[in-house]
Structure 1
């Protein structure tokens, strides 16, 4: 089974604010900036707006839409609610993004009923527990389940039994197959291949001549309904990153440092929420003409600290030979993720015993995460003003409010 939430970010905003229901809602960058659409409601999609579209184009198509900034911590909390409901149905759940997952439902017929009943139960549990709709597809493998979940959006439920696979696939445009993108689609169309059925009728040898050995074999198998079926619940996350695109190229060090601070806070919070720490700090900087540079630095020990992340990223920015030119985009990330080594069982502290800096920071981080989960990203952040643009280590430990940043949603 593949479960995909319907316009997830926008649906959450409409759920939380009933006055937005029925209106075109766009979640992403602010109009006038250079970011993109993260997602949009189905009302907005009627105007041709779609995910990853430049926000300027979305605004041109629908200037009267409601434009909202993403609240990633809030969405992550709701995603955990969804995951709990899926775990209650099957022990084999593989999240593939914040709003979709594959679920192995084989063997559940005896407990729940036929595939349609299993899908209906998943949709009902999520609607009742989280107040949101999901589209579900069930099939003999991942490809068919994924295509089935897209077949009747929103709030759809499509079951494709093994004998029905070819009937389901053949009429669909060839662009639905994985690996058919902007470069491959025109090549297929020049061969007269418009539908999956057209592709299926071509020999593997002919496809290899035009597409190459690997891509031809993959598309040939998909056209015949052959794909992987394994669900891997323990697939580890490899990295966490956030980036921001500026409305105008920036060279002001204080502004760049402030944005990097906000991004470091988001990355650290995401890492803590996932129960991981990172051993490699990465920095991404894009200049005019989309010239992009990346730098990385390995740490002595893994971290989930916003302070450490900011200090290391700013050091890379200042001392790794980057061009001294206005910046279009800046981003920071953590890689080489692993469970934090500092996890130890809780103990009762003596009334007059002082907390060390590491424990104090951990307790502050837990509080910040709880506040931002409830009230949205940027509601509260570490007071890192002490980490001046030079990247000093003596940061203020207090909390401070901060205005939402113009992060480019990814």
Structure 2
């Protein structure tokens, strides 16, 4: 039986959610990301904004120069977006239990054999789109093909609100006219090597022999591109594959040297990351601090915890200890952020032993891969005693999460007075 893989991509997801919840913004250019006049980038934007050449990761200053005065600018509310994403993924499980979310706004589904229950692939695609519309009131673009590559490219063909089916017998006709950059692995560095030979389309790449591609791109990448140009790619959908990390960062409007401001910004980031982790059922064992100075000099430091956590106090303390151990002094900070990764599986989070408890009272067991880098400056990785995460603290987290889920982010938070920068 030929495999049938469906790729679903929510159209301009963050922006579409904002326009759904604010009807007065519908039809207007809308940018989700940094605020005008500040620094930072566009996270995403509505299709009305994309008509002006604005796209994700564009500096906000450039976006403002391109967009008309009536443009709406919104700061991201990741908890809202994560909840809508969860609703969508849960709804799609009614179509096929073999589902692999690959980001907050897209997923692969193995729909092989559903023709007998639902009908032809077009009917399956319409069913997926209907589930999204009924669940969150948004549109999605769907692509269906014999493997992940073809399904993904098919979903990109007719956005927004598109549905493209590529049967196995038409794969080559579908691929050949596409620009060669649709092949995974041909980026800014490698695509010019092929363009220098006068190649522009997938058909042009397909004309090259395997040996020629290997000489140009290396054995591994050359083989991958050779196979992709012929429509050969992975057709497995891995149930349970999840996001690899959760992070939160902010770019300051002006460089910051005030330790209190940096401390409260990290506290905010820890609360956001911890909330998203708890909301998604994750506990992580690696905390990452990211810091960027003037001139875009960027450093990351990681700490591996003894026990997995989704507690904002633990995340904040660990990140702050990493910042202090870095011994960067009063250098002006442009950006600061915090991340959590390396998920633990099947562990009870109700009572969480503390990173600094027990036999380790005199100092933390800093086993993070970058701890040695920090110590080259002469800093130590030890820290003060910390209280464990108690059942009372866990219940408090649950209460704060429930309040936030009902009334939105920013209505209540721990410690400090400073909110999101």
Question: Do the structures match in fold with TM over 0.5?
Answer: yes
Corresponding residue to 2:200 among 194, 202, 205: 194
Q: Structure with the greater relative contact order (CA < 8 A, sep ≥ 6): 1 or 2?
A: 1
Distance 1:131 1:186 in 2: 42
Distance 2:324 2:263 in 1: 11
CA shift, 1:380, in A, is: 2.0
Assess if the C-alpha contact under 8 Å between 1:277 and 1:340 holds in 2: no
* Per-residue CA distance 1:232-283 (angstroms, 9 max, x = gap): 0122443322111112211111111111111000111111112122222221
Distance 1:357 1:188 in 2: 56
Distance 1:139 1:300 in 2: 44
Distance 2:117 2:240 in 1: 24
Assess if the C-alpha contact under 8 Å between 2:102 and 2:242 holds in 1: no
CA shift, 1:323, in A, is: 5.1
Q: Does 1:246 align with 2:252?
A: yes
Q: Does 1:295 align with 2:301?
A: yes
CA shift, 1:324, in A, is: 3.8
Q: Does 1:35 align with 2:67?
A: no
Give the corresponding residue for 2:266. Answer: 260
Corresponding residue to 2:132 among 126, 130, 155: 126
Corresponding residue to 2:119 among 102, 113, 123: 113
Please give the root-mean-square deviation of Cα atoms over the aligned residues, in Å.
1.8
Give the corresponding residue for 1:358. Answer: 390
Distance 2:348 2:167 in 1: 49
Assess if the C-alpha contact under 8 Å between 1:37 and 1:50 holds in 2: yes
Distance 2:398 2:122 in 1: 41
Distance 2:115 2:411 in 1: 45
Corresponding residue to 1:208 among 189, 200, 214: 214
Give the corresponding residue for 1:80. Answer: 86
TM-aligned CA distance change 1:264 to 1:207, over 3 Å: same
Distance 2:346 2:160 in 1: 39
Alignment of structure 1 residues 1-400 onto 2, 5 Å: 1-64=6-69, 65-322=71-328, 324-339=330-345, 341-343=347-349, 358-382=390-414, 384-385=415-416
Distance 2:342 2:336 in 1: 20
TM-aligned CA distance change 1:164 to 1:197, over 3 Å: same
Assess if the C-alpha contact under 8 Å between 1:281 and 1:332 holds in 2: yes
TM-aligned CA distance change 1:362 to 1:94, over 3 Å: same
TM-aligned CA distance change 1:276 to 1:19, over 3 Å: same
Distance 1:220 1:328 in 2: 43
CA shift, 1:370, in A, is: 2.7
- The normalised TM-score by structure 2 is 0.86
Distance 2:408 2:74 in 1: 12
Query: Equivalent residue of 1:226, what SS?
Result: coil
TM-aligned CA distance change 1:300 to 1:203, over 3 Å: closer
Give the corresponding residue for 1:350. Answer: none
Distance 1:36 1:244 in 2: 10
Distance 1:96 1:373 in 2: 24
Unaligned runs of 5+ in 1: 346-355, 386-399
Query: Equivalent residue of 1:109, what SS?
Result: helix
CA shift, 1:103, in A, is: 0.2
* Per-residue CA distance 1:34-88 (angstroms, 9 max, x = gap): 2111110100000000011111110010042111001100011111110111100
Query: Equivalent residue of 2:288, what SS?
Result: strand
Give the corresponding residue for 1:390. Answer: none
Distance 2:181 2:406 in 1: 40
Assess if the C-alpha contact under 8 Å between 2:103 and 2:243 holds in 1: no
Aligned length: 379
Assess if the C-alpha contact under 8 Å between 1:179 and 1:219 holds in 2: yes
Give structure 1 regions of 4+ aligned residues with deviation exceeding 4 angstroms. none
* Per-residue CA distance 1:370-406 (angstroms, 9 max, x = gap): 3333444333212x23xxxxxxxxxxxxxx7x64x24
Distance 1:380 1:63 in 2: 35
